[in-house]
Amino acid sequence: MFNIAGRGWADPTREDGKIENANGLRELVREIDVEKLFYVQIVDAERLSQPLNEQHPFHVDGQPPRMSWSRNERLFICEERDLGEIIMRSF
């Protein structure tokens, strides 16, 4: 779902972190055929404090910004992170 939601709603290169005029996740929910789901991994990525541009520490030449964002700010299955620290950095 991260890949789907991140592609349809989020844009790490923008100041607000969102695709302009995105329809949001409601449309995604309407479009998914739940009969075809066999595994759901719930993940999230932290909203970046600054746009992921060439000056951002996560920037990698030639790598799409969403890939850099995903590789640096996303939890993977069985990975642990201090959520208190993440929440405090978001404010």
Domain count, the chain: 1
Contacts of 56 by beta carbon, 8 Å cutoff, 6+ apart: 48, 50, 68
Q: What's the confidence (pLDDT) of residue 62?
A: 94
The whole-chain average pLDDT of the chain stands at: 77
Which domain does 71 fall in, by range? 2-89
At 51-77, the pLDDT tens digits run 999 999 999 999 999 888 888 887 766
Q: Give the whole-angstrom CA distance, residue 36 versus residue 74.
A: 25
Q: Give the whole-angstrom CA distance, residue 42 versus residue 2.
A: 8
Q: What's the confidence (pLDDT) of residue 89?
A: 53
